[in-house]
């Protein structure tokens, strides 16, 4: 049996607005640990790596994401002991068809024509073995030239998913011709689909050769194909990061994989098949979906964190930073973070995006960032603030450093509470250990580094007329920030 070369592609550019307040623009749901020990992104990468074997050779993953999350991608992959083949950084959001085109061009760059196994970064399954079997079957069909999509047998009349109408069986292994794609239905139509059978949830996972994708795109949407190629031709590479030309990518039409190609294939002469996926799949698109996959008590309540639920049914409580108690509520979602609390009907959990839209319109910080903000060197947590002062807890990873910088409007006091700090202030460089401190005058060039082998933690007290994060002038930065 010939070995099938598989190129995993993880789409990691989503914003996850329906899982606010846990998911924020700066740290969206695919990088969150919602259950277990791995984030959704890590779970996706591990599932694809597990396809290796039984005649399948799996390359390091290609990840498509954006500039803001590039170090999250690297850090989380390395926690799994995985290295990416490349991280393709979209200069702007253009939906999934251009993103997949970038991945196909990158896959072909090495001279081979591998089978792309494409998955969003924010899904979950409960049966990894069944997932592996289905994806291997799909890869075999794709290696022969088919475009393959994964379909999930519906378990309820779901209105939040698009559907696939299956045609005639296409050989063994639970494969079917695709008769048609249908949009997200209303409740009555979804109930009819469930009763009639032959309809499957569209899991948003695609398996096809890189050349097959480009040929189909050039047939159905040559404008997207040409514009994305132009952006790819203008790319720059920085170690693992590949940046398509920004001006060229801005001209790419925004379109999804489904609208651009998949929905046009049935009846067009372009072979498209569906392989069924029976692996406890869920796309965790809203808090109701999170409730569905979490363990529950006898009353149907699911809890994460420090939560007490009394005389309630079918309720989700997710506590991040303190005790949360609920009494006498049914079918409700309660999500607590350090700076925001959501209380919603489970049936209305799709509407959380409306809150996020309002936060964005009002330019509120809770839309984009948590109180605890992750950076490539570690994180900071804004623990207190008031007129002309702000207090932060800062963690710097072993061997990492902040940029060499200065501030126009604030001075800073640093107190080391754990580890060893190497502090640059002007022309001086000093080492500080636990309970030692230093002062950074306004306008002084400075840098904080961790030369040790354990995380460095400090408390920073800022004082001044303006304390915004944009009051940073960088002179040198390990991570290429400006």
Residue of 97, 107, 116 lying closest to 252 (CA atoms): 97
Which DSSP string do the residues of 43-69 spell out, in sequence order?
HHHHHHHTT-BTTEEEPPPEEEEEGGG
Check: CB of residue 289 under 8 Å from CB of residue 165.
Answer: no
What residues contact 208, with CB distance under 8 A and at least 6 apart? 115, 116, 142, 146, 147, 148
Domains in the chain with CATH codes = 4-276 (3.90.550.10), 287-359 (no CATH), 372-476 (2.60.120.10)
pTM attached to this predicted model: 0.89
DSSP β-ladder status, 428-432 and 378-386? unpaired
Number of Cβ within a 10 Å radius of residue 9:
27
Distance CA 2, CA 270 (A): 25
Distances (CA, A) of 234 to 85, 102, 243, 247, 250: 19, 12, 9, 9, 12
Write out the chain's pLDDT in tens, 482 residues.
Answer: 589 999 999 999 888 889 999 999 889 999 998 877 899 999 999 999 999 988 899 999 999 999 889 989 999 999 999 999 999 999 998 999 999 999 999 999 978 899 999 999 999 999 999 999 999 999 999 999 899 999 999 998 988 889 999 999 887 667 899 999 988 898 899 999 999 999 999 999 999 999 999 999 999 999 999 999 999 999 999 888 999 999 999 999 999 999 999 999 888 888 899 999 999 999 888 999 999 989 999 999 999 999 999 999 999 999 999 999 999 999 999 999 999 999 999 999 989 999 999 999 999 989 988 899 889 899 999 999 999 999 999 999 999 999 999 999 999 999 999 999 999 999 999 999 999 999 999 999 999 999 999 999 999 999 999 998 889 999 998 887 76
């Amino acid at each position: 049996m010939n070995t099938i070369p598989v190129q995993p592609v993880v789409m990691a550019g989503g914003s996850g607005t329906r899982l606010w307040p846990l998911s924020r623009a700066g740290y969206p749901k695919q990088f969150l640990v919602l259950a277990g020990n791995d984030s959704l992104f890590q779970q996706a990468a591990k599932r694809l790596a597990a396809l290796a074997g039984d005649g399948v050779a799996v390359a390091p993953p290609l990840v498509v994401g954006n500039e803001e999350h590039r170090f999250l991608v690297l850090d989380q992959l390395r926690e799994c002991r995985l290295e990416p083949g490349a991280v393709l950084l979209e200069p702007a959001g253009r939906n999934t068809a251009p993103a997949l085109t970038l991945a196909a061009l990158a896959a072909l760059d090495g001279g081979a024509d591998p089978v792309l196994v494409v998955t969003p970064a924010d899904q979950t399954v409960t049966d990894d073995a069944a997932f592996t079997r289905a994806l291997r079957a799909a890869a075999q069909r794709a290696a022969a030239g088919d475009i393959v999509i994964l379909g999930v047998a519906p378990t309820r009349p779901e209105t939040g998913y698009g559907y696939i109408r299956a045609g005639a069986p296409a050989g063994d292994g639970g494969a079917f011709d695709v008769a048609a794609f249908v949009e997200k239905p209303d409740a009555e139509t979804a109930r009819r689909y469930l009763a009639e059978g032959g309809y499957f949830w569209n899991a948003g996972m695609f398996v096809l050769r890189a050349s097959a994708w480009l040929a189909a795109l050039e047939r159905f949407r040559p404008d997207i194909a040409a514009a994305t190629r132009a952006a790819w031709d203008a790319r720059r590479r920085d170690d693992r990061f590949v940046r398509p030309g920004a001006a060229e990518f801005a001209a790419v039409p925004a379109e999804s994989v489904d609208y651009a190609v998949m929905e046009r294939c049935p009846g067009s002469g372009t072979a498209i098949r569906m392989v069924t996926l029976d692996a406890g799949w869920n796309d965790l698109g809203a808090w109701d979906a999170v409730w569905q996959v979490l363990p529950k008590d006898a009353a149907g309540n699911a809890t994460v964190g420090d939560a007490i639920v009394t005389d309630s049914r079918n309720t989700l409580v997710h506590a991040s930073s303190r005790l949360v108690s609920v009494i006498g509520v049914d079918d409700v979602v309660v999500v607590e973070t350090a700076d925001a609390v959501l209380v919603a009907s489970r049936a209305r959990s799709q509407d959380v995006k409306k809150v996020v839209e309002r936060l964005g319109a009002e330019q509120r910080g809770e839309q984009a960032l948590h109180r605890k903000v992750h950076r490539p060197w570690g994180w900071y947590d804004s623990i207190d603030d008031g007129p002309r002062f702000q207090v932060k807890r800062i963690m710097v990873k072993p061997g990492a450093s902040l940029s060499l910088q200065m501030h126009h409007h604030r001075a800073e006091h640093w107190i080391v509470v754990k580890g060893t700090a190497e502090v640059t202030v002007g022309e001086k460089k000093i080492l500080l250990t636990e309970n030692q401190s230093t002062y950074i005058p306004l306008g002084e060039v400075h840098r904080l580094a961790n030369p040790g082998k354990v995380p460095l933690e400090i408390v920073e007290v800022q004082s001044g007329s303006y304390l915004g994060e944009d009051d940073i002038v960088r002179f040198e930065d390990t991570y290429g920030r400006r």
